[in-house]
Structure 1
Amino acid sequence: MNNTKKKILFIINNLSCGGAENALVSLLQVFDYQKYDVDLLLMKSEGVFLKKLPKEVQLLPAPKEIPFFDMSFKTAVLRSLATFRWDIILARLVYLFYARNEPVPTIKDQKLWRAMRICLPKLPQKYDVSISFLENIPNCYNVDKVTSTKKIAFIRNDYEKLGMDPELDRPYFKQLTALLTVSKSCEAILQRLFSDLPIQIGTMQSVFSLETIKVMAAEPIQEDFSGHTIVSVGRLDPQKGFDLAIKACSLLVQKGYAVKWYILGEGNLRNELQNQINNLQLTDHFFLIGAKENPYPYLQKASIYAQTSRFEGKSRATEEAKILQKIILATNFPTVSDQLTHLENGYIVDLNEEAIAEGII
């Protein structure tokens, strides 16, 4: 082994089908492994992108304490007692009293870490650079549980729209070397909120392999993409506005348009969105087809790519649709101008179902 190699650690929740996960795997695929030894820590060793990891990347074991925070309190206590993990019981009690009445999910995650850190051990390895690739738990883990010369953290979204509490993040961010985000608009928000901290705040563009995307886009798919087809990519999460997409699809069908709208992604809203589809009698027009390891053939074959988000950092799927030279419709979320110019390389509409439907027409 070349002892002059720098040791780098990346940290992220998992490798599910999302923009951050896709961006990380794409970055790892172009790394110079002659110069760097790269470790990857996932909070959970799962996700469709696992098989895309380069063989040079050392995948570390996921922290075995994490599943105890997905169980019911009773189950977690019983299993912890069986293994004499009093620290896990304490952590669950702290979370129960500290965050049970917190209505904002992102702040709840911020508070979750204050409990998790009680029972998660520090990583024994030492690194030249540790890079947490997603906000909240990966960033906090990087600060509290990793020994490294330089620490870099990412906020991959509009920080204010995420609804996070800056005062909970401030003591963590001040220990970083750099805080990075994905667009100049998102950077301006971080500069305004954290300019007093002695750290670098900047933007890092995501890595895209144009040739790889074009080759992968040529692969076949099973779904029928004849006629007017619309594709959207993203987690089934309120941020992505798929409830508005379903309503817009209903308006299009009422106007006589034989559209088919495909959503690529998974998330907690699947049952709720499917019920909305069923109630509006759109089962022949609107399809939740799940996370796809290769979304590019769907983008390639679509008549329109639609980004119906309420907010974004910088949508990776929109960038990929641009690479494939697709017609793009996007809602007027706060950072949309970082990616699209109305009537130049996209069509930007107001954030409601009527505007989305009219834009598509």
Structure 2
Amino acid sequence: MANQKKKILFIINNLHCGGAENALISLLHVFDYTRFEVDLLLMKYEGVFLHKVPPSVRILPSPKEIVFFDMPFKQVLYKSIKGFRPDILLARLFYFFYVRHEPVPTIKDQKLWRALRLCLPKLPNRYDVAISYLENIPNCYNVDKVTATKKIAFIRNDYDKLGMDPKLDRPYFKQLTALLTVSKSCEAILHHHFSDLPIQIGTMQSVFSLDTIKVMADEPIAEDFSGTTIVSVGRLYPQKGFDLAIAACSILVSKGYAIKWYVLGEGSLRNELQQQIDDLHLHQHFFLIGQKENPYPYLLKATLYAQTSRFEGKSRATEEAKILQKVILATNFPTVNDQLKHLENGYIVDLTAEAIAAGIQQLLDNEEIREKLKDTLSSSQINNTKELKILYDIIEN
């Protein structure tokens, strides 16, 4: 009699165009469906990657109660009374008094779960392993609302730089089988806060579908990539340092460099960043071209890739630029050395607009450095097998 497949659940907020979402899609595409039966729960059923979910994965209905936290209170009051859901009304009131005035966004998300859990039902399905693939709400939902023999949670960033409150996470993390992150530097931070908990803390780096990346990189794009082009990928949030990128672009243009710098991503800072572009008269040099489902043609055609972040866990876009053997400039954020070695496979600069501009100037002016970086990347390999084994071992052993 054949062994019965283990039932696995993955949980994430949505499938918008972000590093965690892209990483999950790649993981699902290389997952072993001869051994595992996989469900996917999205807290909200939305995102440009929805159609990329493999047919072997069953997408579960999203919790309908979450939309009540995006509504005006009067609408919540009406709908909760009409639907005989006083628990939703209670949860929104609790949210108002407990969460609303929290100034730190990540702590606000941590506290938001305390309100959400009052009205979200438990998931009726039972699983061998439940894997929440992003910090905060997915991890909390995994612990409070899922029945599973093992529970694995991911922190996909630098925990300290995220500004999380460890006291709020401890009661959740201690109920896990394993807490995983994306780099050894990020793992060390988790050990610092949670090594006393009776759980496994480890690193599982993202997996990549190399053939898919290379095929998708050959697709056409509308933008003009003639001349010197720089590409950056990321949400338009303070973390990504695009304000520094714009200032660096201004410095380079003032020195006579005819560059075009394209940023792929959307976010809350779009208007503010566009105003900065306008104020510096960079409308012919710096472009916020929005979220792109397929960033790879932009990476492939770019003269160089720039990661101007203030902090990262392990930047997926940087790894993809490495796969496509692009010249990479990165700021010296705390975990950058988990991905790049200066003058070996990347060029690392201080976290200032002046240093970013000087680094780009050096790369553009010095072909020898560019060729050395490319040569290193051409001889390096991505090994998905090792990373998948880390996850499979936790699932099965």
Instruction: State the TM bucket, normalised to the shorter chain.
Output: over 0.9
Deviation at 1:81, TM superposition (A): 2.2
Distance 1:211 1:169 in 2: 38
Whole-angstrom distance in 2 between the partners of 1:30 and 1:306: 28
Query: What does residue 274 of structure 1 align with?
Result: 274
Q: Which amino acid aligns with 1:300?
A: L
Q: Does 1:231 align with 2:231?
A: yes
**1:210-229 mapped onto 2 (5 Å cutoff):** 210-229=210-229
Q: 1:293-304, aligned counterparts within 5 Å?
A: 293-304=293-304
Counterpart of 1:170 in structure 2 is 170
Q: Distance in 2 between matches of 1:254 and 1:150?
A: 57
Match of 1:326? 326
Q: How many residues in Structure 1 have an aligned counterpart in Structure 2?
A: 360
Aligned residue type for 1:87: D
Cα deviation 1:179-227 (Å, max 9, x = unaligned): 0000000000001100010000000021112222111111111100011
Q: Find the counterpart in structure 2 of residue 344 from structure 1.
A: 344
- Which residue identity lines up with residue 265 of structure 1 in the other structure? G
- The one-letter code of the counterpart of 1:207 is V
1:291-348 CA-partner distances (Å, limit 9, x unpaired): 1111100000000100000000000110110111100000000000000011111110
RMSD over aligned Cα atoms? 1.0
Q: Which residue of 2 aligns with 1:307?
A: 307
Counterpart-to-counterpart distance in 2, 1:74 and 1:249: 46
Measure the CA separation in 2 of the matches of 1:82 and 1:254.
62
Does 2:140 match 1:152? no
Over the matched positions of the two proteins, sequence identity in percent amounts to 80
Question: Which residue matches 1:121?
Answer: 121
User: Which is worse superposed, 341-350 or 210-219?
Assistant: 210-219
Shift of 1:273: 1.4
Distance 2:3 2:83 in 1: 39
Q: CA deviation at 1:33?
A: 1.4
| Distance in 2 (alpha carbons) for counterparts of 1:161 and 1:21 | 20
Residue 12 of structure 1 deviates from its aligned partner by 0.2
Q: Which moved more, 1:64-73 or 1:138-147?
A: 64-73
Q: Distance in 1 between matches of 2:3 and 2:73?
A: 46
Greater helix share, structure number? 2
Decide whether the 8 Å contact of 2:231 with 2:306 is kept in 1. yes
Q: Which moved more, 1:91-100 or 1:300-309?
A: 91-100
- Partners of 2:32 and 2:338 lie apart in 1 by 29
Q: CA separation in 2, counterparts of 1:285 and 1:43?
A: 38
Q: How far is 1:54 from its partner? A: 0.5
Alignment of 1:54-93 (within 5 A): 54-93=54-93
Deviations 1:45-104 (A, max 9, x none): 111111111011000111101111112223322222222221111111111111122110
Using structure 1 for the length normalisation, give the TM-score: 0.98
Contact 2:29 2:209 in 1 (8 A): no
Q: Name the SS for the 1:248 alignment partner.
A: helix
Is the aligned partner of 1:355 residue 2:355? yes
CA deviation profile, 1:79-136 (whole Å, cap 9, x unmatched)? 2222222111111111111112211000000000000000000000000000000000
